[in-house]
Structure 1
Amino acid sequence: MSLRFLRDDPLPAGVAEELGHPDGVRLRRIRCNNPGPFTFLGTNSYLIGEGEVALLDPGPVDAAHHGAILRALDGERLTRILVSHTHRDHSPGAAALQASTGAATFGFGPHQTPPAEGGDGGDHAFCPDHRLADGAVLEGEGWRITALHTPGHCANHLCFALEGSGVLFSGDHVMSWSSSVVAPPDGDMADYMAALRRLAKRDDRLFLPGHGAPLPEPIGFTRALLAHRQAREDGLLEILGRHGPATVGELVPFLYIGLDLRLQPAAAKSLLAHLLKLQTDAAVAIDAEGRWAVREQRS
């Protein structure tokens, strides 16, 4: 399967979209109006169940989005707030939502990289009431969800499988509109690719991502994402082999031709993540001036 992103998402911000009743579970999506080069048209929040409802990803601090969630819950009770990961476009809205509803929060844990160590994109205020390890199960009225620890984009990233339905809430690990940014030190390319392999072995029929429209035929798409990352790694080794030692900044134009200038810093971070993985694999080395080169293979 070739990698084809879904660049269209007609859902207006603040409107609760009915996603059907897979395995009898009502699902709804509400998009926050926080568009940007990394958020596409905005962050998706998902309502799971009916009557007593769980919400996945409250989004950023945004009064309009907070109000839209409460309107969608009219006559229902929010009992759980699930967080896929602690980037600032996903978890900060939990505090106001918890204050309004009394719902408990659930997540893998607080953001793992301090600001001084490169974790400046994280929501360092969020700490879940209940921590979810890999394989943890949550049950509600008529539904059962399993948490899958999928680090790489963010060290504490979780996907959530709605058991018996073929639906996986894929967060920012697999999105329909774009590949994910993997930015060290909190992001890790080896972890990211390993988690992609894990998802590619599943038999889900639909991914509901953190940004963008629902993703049908997700397993083929996930395999294509993995092939895309492997091709990026192969291309990186080829460029280094042909042009010799180079800094990350010098490598970006070779591998991201025609890239939006706003995305170049993110591209540099993803390249760095690839290089760090290759360094661990003993395929490349870095010198004292920050220039990367292919390591000579000894027989």
Structure 2
Amino acid sequence: MTSDSEELSPESGNEPTPEFVTRFEPAHGTLVPLADGVARLTVNNPGPFTFHGTNTYIVGERSVCVIDPGPEDEAHFLALMQALKGREVTHIAVSHTHRDHSPLARRLKAETGAIVVAEGPHRPARPLFEGETNPFAESADSDFSPDVTLAHGEIFEGDGWRLSALHTPGHTANHCAFALDDRGIVFSADHVMAWATSIVAPPDGAMADYMASLDMLLERQDRIYFPGHGGPVADPPAFLRGLRTHRRMRERAVLERIRQGDRLIADMVRVIYASTDPRLHGAAALSVLAHLEDLVDKGLVVTDGPPSLLGAYRIA
């Protein structure tokens, strides 16, 4: 974690915020080749949080790994089985346990006998405070349990492919990206996406974890990311620096709203996210809460009791 002065100062070199790319043809139900031994199949589950749908990836040729099978969706399952026809599925890798990514793993495992690998079951980034409820509890696949839990950097492989697990908590506590290290390819799931920033919503997510995960990925200097929604991230180092700048700007915006007299998260959201789709203001409030949790932990902001959506905040 950087020091408070570094966190609040202008970014070195005036790094730009990311240029989000919203051009994307999902080709629902059709297998789209992306690179040698890498193809994408997008679920037809568009929405404000899923963009044009969840991306499932197939890695390998004769024996393959399926990354993020997706939700329980009959059309997607049939399209996936057609794409896998004549090939052995040895592994099913799950990036995290939101219901648009993991539930179909159970049916795919039953059909193929593949091993399910992931960081672990669903869990919050921190315990719930007394009286607190989890606003995203219904979106969590709490029944998910991998056959094999993966440590950071742990490798699993098949015929012609070798993937390593990259723990990237922040969006969820159990979020994991997967890397074809010898090719500079990372399947970044919901941690880094070209079309929008990732939701960081306590208690499932944590802003400090998210920022640390960005820093870890920046150290790698990979060539291309294939995310959980939308199209590829073509220049990961530049995009990651932009995301880091964007989050720091959001943090400064939260601090500025408090300095201007805002005490409640709802008041901050109305100003900071004035141009954002109102359907996303609930998620925006949770993102502001994630920043406030981090700011309280740093000693820059205070509130009575633990940080909460309904709490009142002031500069320390």
1:74 aligns with 2:85: yes
Residues 188-245 of structure 1 show CA distances to partners (whole Å, capped at 9, x for unaligned) of 00000110111122211100000001110111001100100001001111111122x5
Cα shift at 1:179: 0.2
Residues 135-184 of structure 1 show CA distances to partners (whole Å, capped at 9, x for unaligned) of 11111112211101110000000011102101011010001110000000
Do 2:17 and 2:245's aligned partners in 1 also have CA atoms closer than 8 Å? no
Structure-1 residue corresponding to 2:25? 10
What's the secondary structure of 2:35's corresponding residue?
Answer: coil
Structure-1 residue corresponding to 2:292? 275
Do 1:143 and 1:163's aligned partners in 2 also have CA atoms closer than 8 Å? no
* Letter paired with 1:272: L
Question: Which of residues 152, 156, 177 in structure 2 aligns to 1:138?
Answer: 156
* Letter paired with 2:247: R
| Larger deviation, residues 11-20 vs 281-290 | 281-290
Do 2:90 and 2:158's aligned partners in 1 also have CA atoms closer than 8 Å? no
| CA–CA distance in structure 2, aligned partners of residues 110 and 77 of structure 1 | 25
Structure-1 residue corresponding to 2:39? 28
1:93 aligns with 2:114: no
1:292 aligns with 2:313: yes
| CA–CA distance in structure 2, aligned partners of residues 246 and 63 of structure 1 | 47
- Correspondence 1:231-246 to 2 at 5 A: 231-243=249-261, 245-246=262-263
Moved over 2 A (4+): 113-117
1:104 aligns with 2:115: yes
1:255 aligns with 2:272: yes
Structure-1 residue corresponding to 2:198? 180
* Letter paired with 1:156: N
| Larger deviation, residues 205-214 vs 140-149 | 140-149
RMSD between superposed Cα atoms in Å: 1.5
TM-score, normalised to structure 1's length? Answer: 0.94
* Letter paired with 1:142: G
* Letter paired with 1:250: D
TM-score, normalised to structure 2's length? Answer: 0.89
* Letter paired with 1:7: T
What's the secondary structure of 1:176's corresponding residue?
Answer: coil
Residues 67-120 of structure 1 show CA distances to partners (whole Å, capped at 9, x for unaligned) of 111111111111110000001110001111111111110001110139985250
* Letter paired with 1:274: H
Do 2:61 and 2:160's aligned partners in 1 also have CA atoms closer than 8 Å? no
What's the secondary structure of 1:235's corresponding residue?
Answer: helix
| CA–CA distance in structure 1, aligned partners of residues 314 and 230 of structure 2 | 37
Report sequence identity in percent.
47
Which consecutive unaligned segments of at least 5 residues does structure 2 have?
1-15
Cα shift at 1:2: 3.9
Structure-1 residue corresponding to 2:49? 38
Question: Which of residues 124, 128, 142 in structure 2 aligns to 1:124?
Answer: 142
